[in-house]
Amino acid sequence: MSVLTLADIAETLKNGGVYVVVVSAEGSTPARPGAKMAVLADGSAFGTVGGGILETTAIEEALRIFESNEAGLVEYEMGKDGPLGAECGGKATIYFEPIRPKMKLWLFGAGHVGREIAKTAAVAGWHVVACDDRPGAAEPEFIIANEYRTGDYADLAEKAPIQAEDYVAIVTAGHQGDEIVLSNILSLKNIPMYIGMMGSKYKIEEMFARLRKAGVPESRLLQIHAPIGLNIGTVEPGEIAVAVVAEMLAVRNGIERIKKCSE
C-alpha cells in the first residue's frame, strides 16, 4: 500500500469513508505516528497504518465507525497475550474519523418556494441541483444552487442520475409537472431516500389514484412525503422551506416522531 498525503485522503474520501491515522506508537510496532489510511464503505483501503493484523483490525474498526458515524480513538496492544495475538510487543493508538459525502438534493421547481428551499438546504449542508422547465428559471441569478438544469420535466427526471441516498423535492409550477417528475422518480429501481411533493391533500390523492391505476405499488406511494414538509403552520415560501428541510433532516437522522427539545 502506498503512503497517502492529506490531498490523497481528501480525494479518496470525497464520496465517503473513514480517515484513519496513527496518533502514537510505543515499543516494537509496525505502526508509525502520522501513518494514514483511507477506508471506503466497501472495505477497500488506501494507504497503510503498518500492515499485518493491526491493519486488518483497523479496517474492521473503520467499517464499524462508518456505520456508527462516531469518531474515536482506539488503543491496540500488540503483545502475544493481547487481543491481536501479535508478537511484536508494542502499542499503537489510532484515530478514526467517518467522512460522509455531501447530501444531494434534486430540486424540481425553481419558483418562489424552490428558491427558498435551495437556500435553506444549502445552509443545512445539501448539494443542490436546481431543475426547471422554464428558460431562465434555474439560473444563478434567481436561485442559489450547485448545479442548474433546464428542460422538459420528463427529460430532466429521466436523465437525472438520482441515487438511493439522494433527496428529491418536487415543487414545480403546476400539478402536471409534479406528476411527470414523480412518475419518473417512482420508476427507478431504487427510489431516493426522500421524496417530498407540494400540493393540497385533495390533489395529491387524485394523483396517487392515477399512479395506482398505472401500476405503482402502494409501498412506494407510502414513501412519499406529500404534502411536503412538517406541519408547523407555514404559509410563506421561506417558512415552507424551513418545514421542508426540517423534514429532510428528520429522515436523514432516522427520526420518525418529531418532539420539542423541551420534551
Mark the ranges of the chain whose per-residue pLDDT is less than 70. Answer: 1-3, 79-89
Contact between 37 and 47 under an 8 Å Cβ cutoff? The reply is yes
Q: How many CA atoms lie within 13 Å of 43's alpha carbon, on the beta-carbon side?
A: 3
Q: What count of other Cβ atoms lies within 10 Å of the Cβ of residue 154? A: 14
pLDDT at 1: 45
Q: What is d(CA 129, CA 108) in angstroms, rounded to the nearest whole number?
A: 8
How many residues in total does the chain contain?
A: 263
Give pLDDT tens digits for 42-68: 999 999 998 888 899 999 999 999 988
pLDDT at 84: 60
Strands 103-108 and 91-99: unpaired
User: pTM for this structure?
Assistant: 0.72
Of 226, 245, 230, which Cα lies nearest the Cα of 103? 245
CA distances from 20 to 67, 69, 90, 190, 255 (A): 15, 14, 19, 31, 29
Domains and CATH numbers, the chain: 6-99 (no CATH), 103-252 (3.40.50.720)
Give pLDDT tens digits for 218-263: 999 999 999 999 999 988 999 999 999 999 999 998 888 887 777 7
